[in-house]
Amino acid sequence: MLDAGGFQIGPAHRTEVIYPFSPEALLEIIASDTDFLAQVPGLGREPGLPLYDRITVGMPGMIRHGKVIYTPHYIRRSGPHTRIDPENEAAWNGLDIQAALEERFGVPALVINDSEVAAAGVISGEGLEVVLTFGTGLGSAIVDDGVLAPHLEISHAQMRWGLTYDDVVGEIERIRLGDAAWSRRVLRAVDSLFPVIRWDKLYIGGGNAARITPTVRARFDSRVTFIPNAAGMNGGVRAWSLARRRERPARG
């Protein structure tokens, strides 16, 4: 839970995702999280007021105006890189998850890609800024002078030999290669993206960023900053202003 300034005022609460993971399961996790926070001393509000005013959700995949265009992991039977569950795929893809949240919890909701939420927590708002997150796969967000660009699933682009960025630098390869060899792959992945995007500032985060070896970190130039995994949580408030700036103007 964050206050209006984006500062954390409640303890983090981690809940494991159990596959197959349906939209209803996500709603139940959020309900469980809010129930947990309601029991934390000192977080209560005046009688008659809700515990929270709005909800921000960052989730993997292509989220456009609150609708799930495609999500790569939740549609799987047993987690990332396992077989697709057709029933779950149909439930997720095309779902207006933002509207579902607002209906369930009765407050405004914002749903964007999880790397975009992380970006909201760290960007300066000046120049072309890119966030790359390394975890299960590769997450990404691009921000131009404080405005979120349309989301690109860079992770699904081919990097080499018919393999995607997810295939080359994802968690499965990190486990197989070990941190040292995997870190060198991360460096090559970043180097391959710079000519395409030409960022002014690059932020590297995600759960596996801490596993990038000091030797490889030293090889990144001064435009690269490593960010803590908590950035994804701290960006929950600022994400609203970034998303509003991206919205298309109303047509007359």
One-letter identity of residue 27: L
- CB burial class (10 A; 0-12, 13-18, 19+) of residue 214? exposed
Of the candidate CATH numbers 3.40.50.720, 1.10.3720.10, 3.30.420.40, 3.30.2020.30, the domain formed by 117-246 belongs to 3.30.420.40
pLDDT tens digits, one per residue of 169-204: 999 999 999 999 999 999 999 999 999 999 999 999
Task: Reduce the DSSP state of residue 122 to 3 states and report it.
Answer: coil
For residue 20, give both structure tokens: 């197959």
- For 83-106, the pLDDT digits (tens) are 999 999 999 999 999 999 999 999
Q: Could you tell me where the beta strands, DSSP code E, fall in 161-213?
A: 163-164, 201-205
230-248 pLDDT per residue, tens? 777 789 999 999 887 666 5
Name the residue among 16, 55, 40 with its Cα closest to residue 237: 55
What is the end-to-end Cα distance of the chain in Å, rounded? 38
- Looking at every residue in the chain, the average pLDDT score rounds to 92
pLDDT in tens, 44-67: 666 666 788 999 999 999 999 999
Q: How far apart are CA 131 and CA 163, in angstroms?
A: 22
Q: Where are the domains of the chain?
A: 117-246
Tell me phi and psi for residue 101, to 5 degrees. Answer: -65, -45
SS3 179: helix
Question: Please, which residues bridge with residue 226 across strands?
Answer: 204
Cα(44)–Cα(88) distance, integer angstroms: 36
Beta-sheet pairing, 62-64 with 67-70 = antiparallel
Q: Beta-strand (E) ranges in the chain?
A: 55-59, 62-64, 67-70, 109-113, 128-134, 138-144, 147-148, 158-160, 163-164, 201-205, 224-226
